[in-house]
Structure 1
Amino acid sequence: MKTLTEEMSTLTRIAKGIAAQFGKDCEVVLHDYTQSYESTIVLIENGHVTGRKVGDCGTNLGLEVLRGTVSDGDQYRYITQTKDGKILRSTSIYLRDEEGKAIGALCMNWDLTEFYACNSALKDILETETGAVEEVITNDVSELLDALIQDSVRYVGKPVISMTKEDKIKGLKYLDDKGAFLIKKAGDKISKFYDISKYTLYNYLEQSTEL
């Protein structure tokens, strides 16, 4: 596959088929990574599950695949949660070109919230293979970047005001590994949050490659 466009008809039929099979509580999303990460969603069925629509952004898991932090990236039957508390069982499959580069993703998010209310009777259907995966689902790439920045602070284990140079390098490496710098103008927001200049930011990132 060279581009998603040439397979769009087939991918659309697959997405509609999955949504029809599992019903209105199963969201099916197609991301096109040749687009800006602020608007990777090119097709969505049952978008009410997460509140997203065509033109919205990808998640942090996609950023890690694009950054190369994870070599494969496909995830099956993992549990995640929406901002409004819905419990989802999700699968993310990355679509690649002839050279193996990720050019898109087909993702399924099945809302199991009501099943969890009856979990004793439905224990078998709720069992997962890979356990909980922290995936940030949002329609605003700025919120996605904010979440990654807060994750970096938790990873370092201290507030920015108390961080040493080495701590900041550690936090910036975390963000780089997570693909945060693939988001447009992420450097401006991250340097401001870490209270460093853009020059220092790139200097620290260069030093982080030695860790």
Structure 2
Amino acid sequence: MTLNLPFFRQLAKALAKQFGDNCEVVLHDLTSTDIEHSVVLVENGHVTHRAVGDGPSHVVLEAMKAMGARGSAPTDHLAYLTKTGDGRILKSSTIYIHDDTEQKITGILSINYDITSMLLAEQALKSLVANEDDKKEPESIPQNVNDLLEDLIRQSVTLVGKPVAMMTKDDKVRAIQFLNDAGAFLITKSGDKISNFFGISKYTLYSYIDVNK
């Protein structure tokens, strides 16, 4: 089943027109095998500097992982904070598009609204910029798969809480299993970069992934 691009193009244009230049609308196509170029539609791409043909975000990798796991289909994530590479704060929503059977995710519609200027007047506009994840650090939005992989690797190091040079085997296992759960190994040649980063062979890398299986 393919996405109804004319419908989503019409919807994206309407949303962007309604909310103005600060509102970006992005459509990811998950029916294609080319996951590294999942973006098929963008309105107001200047918000995150993305364009048609760009790669996935964290939520796309999560959806791809969930599509292969029973009973773990992701639910829509609404009104949460994200952060661009240049530090602007966005209020984002992620909507999962399913096929007619509701069993398979075929696409992801992302809405990102730049609220940076509003945050400068947060007290006066508090009700407008309220979000569900006030206590969470805004999630970065990568521009390409290399940025995404580097961000996931940084998250794995933060999770362990120590630099690679001080990590034990158990620490590295924990970090690599986090990367696996996050879908990092869906990215082409990610195994080479991750094994080099942690100073292990690819054989050891994959043995760490399977250690609890």
State the shift of 1:38 in Å. Answer: 2.0
Which residue in 2 is equivalent to 1:65?
63
- Structure 1 residue 195 and structure 2 residue 195: aligned? no
Instruction: Kindly report structure 1 stretches of 4+ aligned residues shifted beyond 6 Å.
Output: none
Percent identical across equivalent pairs? 46
TM-score by length of 2: 0.91
Paired AA for residue 28 in structure 2: H
Which residue in 2 is equivalent to 1:34?
31
Which residue in 1 is equivalent to 2:150?
146
State the shift of 1:139 in Å. Answer: 1.9
SS at match of 1:190: helix
Q: Distance in 1 between matches of 2:137 and 2:120?
A: 21
Q: Distance in 2 between matches of 1:57 and 1:75?
A: 20
Mark the runs of 5 or more structure 1 residues left unpaired by the alignment. Answer: none
State the shift of 1:105 in Å. Answer: 0.4
Residues 38-187 of structure 1 correspond to what in structure 2 (within 5 A)?
A: 38-68=36-66, 71-97=73-99, 98=101, 100-131=103-134, 132=136, 134-187=138-191
| More off after superposition, 66-75 vs 156-165 | 66-75
Q: Distance in 1 between matches of 2:169 and 2:37?
A: 34
Paired AA for residue 26 in structure 2: V
Q: Distance in 2 between matches of 1:156 and 1:133?
A: 17
Mark the runs of 5 or more structure 2 residues left unpaired by the alignment. Answer: none
Cα deviation, 1:160-185, whole Å, max 9, x if unaligned, reads 22222111111111001111111111
Paired AA for residue 137 in structure 1: I
Give the superposed CA RMSD: 1.6
State the shift of 1:73 in Å. Answer: 3.7
State the shift of 1:159 in Å. Answer: 1.5
- Structure 1 residue 19 and structure 2 residue 16: aligned? yes
TM-score by length of 1: 0.91
| More off after superposition, 66-75 vs 26-35 | 66-75
